[in-house]
Amino acid sequence: AVEQRATYIVHMAKSAMPAEYADHGEWYGASLRSVSAGSAAKMLYAYDTVLHGFSARLTAQEASDMACMEGVLAVNPEARYELH
Amino acid sequence: TTRTPEFLGIAGSGQGLFPQSGTAGDVVVGVLDTGVWPESKSYDDTGLAEVPSWWKGECMAGTAFNSSACNRKLVGARFFNKGYEAAMGRMDTDRESRSPRDDDGHGTHTSSTAAGAAVSDASLFGFASGTARGMAPKARVAVYKVCWLGGCLSSDILAGMDAAVSDGCGVLSLSLGGGAADYARDSVAIGAFAAMEQNVLVSCSAGNTGPGSSTLSNVAPWITTVGAGTLDRDFPAYVALGNGKNYTGVSLYAGKALPNTPLPIVYAANVSNSTAGNLCMPGTLTPEKVAGKIVVCDRGVSARVQKGFVVRDALGAGMVLANTAANGQELVADAHLLPAAGVGDREGTAIKSYVASDPNPTATIVIAGTHVDVHPSPVVAAFSSRGPNMVTPEILKPDIIAPGVNILAAWTGKAGPTGLVADTRRVGFNIISGTSMSCPHVSGLAALLRSAHPEWSPAALRSALMTTAYAAYSGGSPLLDAATGATATPFDYGAGHVDPARAVDPGLVYDLGTRDYVDFLCALKYSSTMIAAVARSREYACDEKKTYSVGNLNYPSFSVVYYTANGDGSNSAATTVTHTRTLTNVGGPGKYKVSTAFAAKGVAMDVEPAELEFTSVGEKKSYTVRFTSKSQPSGTTGFGRLVWSDGKHNVASPIAFTWT
CB-CB contact of A52 with A11 (8 Å): yes
Q: What pLDDT does B572 receive?
A: 59
Per-residue pLDDT of B574-617, as tens digits, reads 799 999 999 999 999 999 999 999 877 889 999 999 999 999 99
Q: Is B106 a catalytic residue?
A: yes
Closest residue in chain B to residue A16, using alpha carbons only? B538
Task: Supply the angle between the helices B154-167 and B187-197 in degrees, to the nearest 10.
Answer: 10
* pLDDT band at A44; cut points 50, 70, 90: very high
Catalytic residue among B26, B33, B298, B519: B33
CB-CB contact of B510 with B555 (8 Å): yes
Q: What pLDDT does B194 receive?
A: 97
Query: Radius of gyration (Cα) for chain A, nearest Å?
Result: 13
Q: Is A21 on the interface with B (CB under 8 A)?
A: no
Tell me what the mean pLDDT of segment B166-179 comes to: 96
Q: What pLDDT does B275 receive?
A: 92
Residue B117 CA to residue B137 CA, distance in Å, equals 5
Give the H or E element holding residue B464.
Answer: helix B458-467
Beta strand spans in B600-649 (E): 603-608, 611-614, 620-629, 637-645
Tell me what the mean pLDDT of segment B552-569 comes to: 83
CB-CB contact of A46 with A28 (8 Å): yes
* pLDDT band at B566; cut points 50, 70, 90: low
* Cα–Cα nearest to B388, from B551, B212, B521, B512: B212
* Cα–Cα nearest to A8, from A49, A58, A42: A58
pLDDT at position B516 over 90: yes
A44 to B82: CB separation less than 8 angstroms, yes or no:
yes
Residue B507 CA to residue B509 CA, distance in Å, equals 7
Query: Radius of gyration (Cα) for chain B, nearest Å?
Result: 25
Cis, bond preceding B378 (omega within 30 deg of 0): yes
First to last CA, chain A: 38
As to burial, measured by CB atoms within 10 angstroms (0-12 exposed, 13-18 middle, 19+ buried), residue B261 is: exposed
Provide the ipTM. Answer: 0.97
Residue B617 CA to residue B292 CA, distance in Å, equals 70
Per-residue pLDDT of B249-308, as tens digits, reads 999 999 999 998 999 999 999 999 999 999 999 999 999 999 999 999 999 999 999 999
Q: Which residues of B touch A14 (CB under 8 A)?
A: 536-537
Q: Which residues of A touch B187 (CB under 8 A)?
A: 9, 76, 79
The full DSSP string for B209-266 is -TTSSS------TTSEEEEEE--SEE-EEEEEETTS-EEEEE----SSPPPSS-EEEE
Residue B281 CA to residue B53 CA, distance in Å, equals 53
Residue B105 CA to residue B119 CA, distance in Å, equals 17
Rounded percentage of chain B residues whose pLDDT exceeds 90: 91
* pLDDT band at B468; cut points 50, 70, 90: very high
Per-residue pLDDT of B52-110, as tens digits, reads 999 999 999 999 999 999 999 999 999 999 999 999 999 999 999 999 999 999 999 99
pLDDT at position A1 over 70: no
The full DSSP string for B580-598 is EEEEEE-SSSEEEEEEEEE
CA A31, A32, A34, A36: dihedral to nearest 10 degrees? 170
* Cα–Cα nearest to B473, from B483, B494, B492, B487: B487
The full DSSP string for B330-396 is -------SSSEEEE-HHHHHHHHHHHHH-SS-EEEEEE---EES-SS--EE-TTS---S-SS-TTS-
CB-CB contact of B213 with B389 (8 Å): no
Q: What is the mean pLDDT of chain B?
A: 95
* pLDDT band at A39; cut points 50, 70, 90: confident
Q: Where are the alpha helices (DSSP H) in B468-583?
A: 490-493, 500-503, 514-523, 528-535
Q: What is the mean pLDDT of chain A?
A: 93
Partners of B225 in the β-ladder: B204
**Reduced DSSP (H G I as helix, E B as strand, rest coil) percent helix, strand, coil of chain A, to 5:** 30, 35, 35
Query: Is residue A9 classed as helix, strand or coil in its secondary structure?
Result: strand
A79 to B181: CB separation less than 8 angstroms, yes or no:
yes
A83 to B533: CB separation less than 8 angstroms, yes or no:
no
Q: What pLDDT does B330 receive?
A: 83
Test mutation, A45, A51, A81, chain B, max B CBs within 10 A? A81
Distances B575 to B520, B596, B610, B642 between C-alpha atoms, Å? 22, 19, 22, 20
Catalytic residue among B104, B106, B272, B385: B106
* pLDDT band at B569; cut points 50, 70, 90: low
Per-residue pLDDT of B142-168, as tens digits, reads 999 999 999 999 999 999 999 999 999
CB-CB contact of A76 with A53 (8 Å): no
The full DSSP string for B526-554 is --HHHHHHHHS-TT----TTSPP-GGGS-
How do B429-432 and B407-410 pair as beta strands? antiparallel
* Cα–Cα nearest to B235, from B121, B342, B378, B377: B342
Q: Who's near B417: CB < 8 A, 6+ residues apart?
A: B105, B124, B252, B335, B411, B423, B425, B427, B430, B431
CB-CB contact of B28 with B141 (8 Å): yes
Q: Is A28 on the interface with B (CB under 8 A)?
A: no
Distances A6 to B88, B177, B228, B368, B514 between C-alpha atoms, Å? 11, 20, 35, 52, 33
Closest residue in chain A to residue B528, using alpha carbons only? A73
> Which one-letter amino acid corresponds to residue A62?
E
Per-residue pLDDT of B314-366, as tens digits, reads 999 999 999 998 888 888 899 999 999 999 999 999 999 999 999 999 999 99
The distance of Cα B608 from the centroid of its chain, to the nearest Å, equals 35
Q: Is B334 a catalytic residue?
A: no
Residue B389 CA to residue B559 CA, distance in Å, equals 9
Q: What pLDDT does B145 receive?
A: 98
